[in-house]
Chain A
């Protein structure tokens, strides 16, 4: 039993931490968030040069062959800087789907391009009616000869406006919310019939609604088996959820640290407000809330890494705790910062807003608690 990171993982962590510290201060981030794409392509090239884009990919494709723990250490550091560049969308989702379900040809063509930073990707899975049930899909993929014809609309596609390539979850058979009958399709973002409408979210990222009007791609662009898309996307999303929890942990750590620091310097009634027991106990509560998330994250990562039987339940539990404790931590951070806590000028609100977006991604706390209960308490 050990909770240590390997030397390689430590180096990876230090490398991301150094970047965040040296090149991603809050003002820099603010400028990136205000740019057209809501992220920096220059930074993306740096990520490629530092090898970060290769981490989860197999060595046979030029990757680092990393596992969930490697992703964890990076995402936690990204969280500390609320990094905007589309690591989740391009590497973990788009790349993750290719790595798990892509054909030899698809992998050979696209993974090296992701790694060198020349291909930005996105996973278009949500629709207007989906909420947290991602198998609720109306977009259709119909076979016509050796082509697939896509029709429908995807919403809130992370990195959807900047992506060069999309993987679209479409329905090829079955009822609207069936797990069976979902087909994942690789679509170039500039294909005829693809229309993108970009907009900004509260955490600074630019997303897109994407419509598909008789978009035609060869059937060889299906990722995995036709109708079997769920089997490919489920494990990728499970891992993405753990990665998001790691990002959330980084954010929670920053919120707690910044709040603690503030209460040691901010004076009211001639004393630092941190000397008030009412505030001390609240900060102890948020400290414990943070430690509990960390423990459950480590548990989930160990389960995933060891392919344990309890991985699914652990990840549901983790999402529940990230939601609950995240809200508690950012709520206290804002409250203890007083009036400054509700300004745009201070970074606290920006950490809070990213945490809120994480909680809505791939199911909120209530959704995952219902799933957890189903696994645990339904015969």
Chain B
């Protein structure tokens, strides 16, 4: 048992740090924080990662991955979070990309993977439906084969960034025979296709990132079907475990907690730093201690994966604990912000307002409510663990 870093690991860490310090410059950060320039700034940043060769640490080397071992991946994630850099937009790189290289044909790989790696195509995910959330397999959007095309009719919901997307990967129903998990197919659909309509959903944080996507007799070439018709559930399931592992966001929570602590140190309560309040300290360490444990839970899962295992039901545990921790940090930050947590976005400077982070704390807290719901609600994750791990 040994988790110390070897000299080559430390050298790698320095290289990652140096690259982030140079490439993630303040001009780019400003554009990322501006809603008007957000999309092109994300693409710009991801292209910088692509040119460095670091855009897809999770992919096999032959498809454009980095070939890093588990330790290097851990170091990369930790450094990324520590530098305050958000993870890449997951839909292309972490979600549909792995499905395409694992289950797609050669033509599909050649056609789609370069656009994903180079961030030329913006992808979104068409899984949930107005009538199918955590019970994903009950989805009803149907695809009827007509010659060389599928005709798709139905609706997808909670589709993040559909307003930016060039492509959507969808689970659609191609058969009603047998179990509901059978008869689902995995389709790639061009968002410019006639018959697609994107309806914005403003979320509890007052922002627009979510959408409903309507499909009205949308014609999709059969060449865009991944794998076999009616087998889409198998491909989607393989992807879900990866998605859950990624959702845990342990390194991001660590950084977020450190920031919260720094905020608390500067906040004054009755003439004393909030950080010196024993009740506040207890709340802080309740989270920090769980996070210290969760970081090693994640490492243990990474080590299993590196040894050739697949992230199975452990990914459900990471999802549950990881999102619980995210919300705990978000809640604590709201407490630190006190009444400034109510501030809505505005053009005032912190100087004019009298405070620096209330609005951001509110937005993260509010949108953060989604994390225990998406990716399969935490209650569904518990059902998965009960069945797969506990054998119940």
A residues adjacent to B (C-beta < 8 A): 1-5, 69, 260, 263-264, 274-275, 277, 280-281, 283-285, 287-288, 291-293, 295-296, 298-299, 301-302, 305-306, 308, 314, 317, 320-321, 369-370, 372-373, 376-378
In the assembled complex, how far is the CB of residue B181 from the closest CB belonging to chain A, in whole angstroms? 20
Supposing A283-B390, A302-B1, A373-B281 touch, asked if A296 and B292 sit within 8 A by C-beta, the answer is yes
* Contact status A299-B293, CB under 8 Å: yes
- Are B392 and A295 interface neighbours, CB within 8 A? no
Q: Cβ of B275: which chain A residues have Cβ within 8 Å of it?
A: 377
On chain A, the residues within 8 Å of B379 by CB distance are 281
Most chain-A Cβ atoms within 10 A of its Cβ — which of B1, B3, B382?
B1
Is there contact, CB below 8 Å, between B385 and A284?
yes
**Is the Cβ of B2 less than 8 Å from the Cβ of A1?**
yes
Question: Could you list 26 A-B pairs, sorted by A, with CB under 8 Å?
Answer: A1-B299, A2-B2, A2-B3, A3-B3, A5-B1, A260-B390, A264-B391, A264-B392, A274-B392, A275-B392, A281-B379, A281-B386, A284-B390, A287-B385, A287-B390, A291-B297, A292-B290, A292-B293, A299-B295, A301-B1, A302-B2, A321-B289, A369-B282, A369-B285, A370-B278, A373-B278
Q: What's the Cα separation between A264 and B392 when bound, in Å?
A: 7
CB atoms of A295 and B284 under 8 A apart: no
A1 proximity list for chain B (CB < 8 A): 2-3, 70-71, 74, 299, 302-303
B296 within 8 Å of A by Cβ? yes
B244 close to A (CB within 8 Å)? no
Report if B333 contacts A (CB, 8 A).
Answer: no
Report the minimum CB–CB distance from B37 to chain A (whole Å).
38
Please name all residues of chain B whose beta carbon is closer than 8 Å to the beta carbon of A296 when the two chains form the complex: 289, 292-293, 296
B1 pairs with A295, CB closer than 8 A: no
Instruction: Point out the residues of chain B lying under 8 angstroms from A372, CB to CB.
Output: 285, 289
Q: Which of A2, A280, A306, A320 contacts B392 (CB 8 A)?
A: A280
- Closest Cβ of chain A to B207, distance in Å, is 32
Contact of B1 among A69, A287, A321 (CB under 8 A): A69
Chain B interface residues (CB < 8 Å from chain A): 1-4, 70-71, 74, 261, 275-276, 278, 281-282, 284-285, 288-290, 292-297, 299-300, 302-303, 317, 320-321, 379, 382-383, 385-386, 389-392
Contact check: which of B4, B281, B391 meets A302 at CB < 8 Å? B4
Please give the distance in Å from B321's CB to the nearest CB on chain A. 6
Report the nearest B residue to A365, measured CB to CB: B289
By the criterion CB–CB under 8 Å, are B292 and A299 in contact?
Answer: yes
Report A325 CB to chain B, min CB distance, Å.
9
Q: In whole angstroms, what is the CA distance A299 to B4 when docked?
A: 11
B296's partner among A277, A295, A369 (CB-CB below 8 A) is: A295
B232 to chain A, nearest CB (A): 28
Contact in complex: B382, A306 (CB < 8 Å): no
Contacts of A3 on B, CB cut-off 8 Å? 1, 3, 299-300, 303
Chain A residues contacting B386 (CB-CB under 8 Å) are 277, 280-281, 283-284
Taking CB as reference atom, which chain A residue is nearest B71?
A1
CB-nearest residue of chain B to A375: B285
Residues of chain B contacted by A293 (CB below 8 angstroms): 293
CA–CA, A263 and B3, complex, Å: 37
How far apart are the CA atoms of A263 and B295 in the complex, in Å? 31
| Min CB–CB distance A317 → chain B (angstroms) | 4
Question: Chain B residues with Cβ under 8 A from A4's Cβ?
Answer: 1
CB of A284 within 8 A of CB of B382, answer: yes
Q: How far is the CB of A12 from chain B (nearest CB, A)?
A: 13
In the complex, the answer to whether A281 meets B382 with C-beta atoms within 8 Å is yes
The answer to whether A280 and B390 touch across the interface, beta carbons within 8 angstroms, is yes
The docked-state distance in angstroms from the alpha carbon of A301 to that of B296 is: 12
Closest to B70 in A: A1
Residue with the greatest number of chain A CB neighbours at <10 A, chosen from B293, B296, B299, B389:
B293
Q: Which one of A264, A274, A287, A305 has the highest number of Cβ atoms from chain B below 10 Å of its Cβ?
A: A287
Q: Which residue of B lies closest to A272 (CB)?
A: B392
The answer on a CB contact under 8 Å between B317 and A2 is: no
A58 to B189, CA, bound (A): 67
A283's nearest neighbour on chain B, judged by CB, is: B390
CB distance from A291 to the nearest CB of B (A): 6
Question: What CA separation (Å) do A292 and B321 show in the bound complex?
Answer: 9
Tell me whether A376 and B288 are in contact in the complex, defined as CB-CB below 8 angstroms, given that A280-B382, A298-B1 are known contacts.
Answer: yes
Interchain CA distance A280-B391 in the complex, whole Å: 10
Given the complex of chains A and B, what is the CA–CA distance between A284 and B317 in angstroms? 9
CA A58 to CA B302, docked complex, whole Å: 35
| Chain A residues within 8 Å of B389, by CB | 287
Complex-state Cα separation, A260 to B387, whole angstroms:
12
A372→B285 CA distance, assembly (Å) = 8
Chain B residues with CB under 8 A of A260:
390-392
The complex places the Cα of A298 from the Cα of B298 at a distance, in Å, of 12
State whether B282 touches A321 (Cβ < 8 A): no
**Supplied contacts A292-B297, A295-B293, 6 more A-B pairs, CB within 8 Å:** A2-B3, A3-B3, A260-B392, A263-B392, A275-B392, A317-B285
Residues of A within 8 A of B70 (CB): 1
Q: CB distance A288 to B321 under 8 Å?
A: yes
In the assembled complex, the Cα of A99 lies from the Cα of B234 at a distance in Å of 58
Chain A min CB distance to B326 (Å): 16
Q: Which residue of A lies closest to B302 (CB)?
A: A1
Contacts of B297 in A (CB 8 A): 291-292, 295
Residues of A within 8 Å of B261, CB to CB, are 377
Choose from A69, A275, A281, A373 the contact partner of B285 (Cβ within 8 Å): A373
The smallest C-beta distance from B57 to any residue of chain A, in angstroms, reads 15
- On whether the beta carbons of B282 and A302 are closer than 8 Å, the reply is no
Instruction: Return B166 CB to nearest CB of chain A, in Å.
Output: 38
Residues from chain A with Cβ under 8 Å of B391 in the complex = 260, 264
Chain A residues, Cβ within 8 Å of B288:
317, 376
Nearest residue (CB) in B for A282 is: B382
Question: Which residues of chain A have C-beta atoms less than 8 A from B281's C-beta?
Answer: 373, 377
Cα(A263)–Cα(B389), bound, Å: 15
Nearest-CB residue, chain B, relative to A308: B4
Instruction: Across the interface, name the chain B residue whose C-beta is closest to A373.
Output: B281
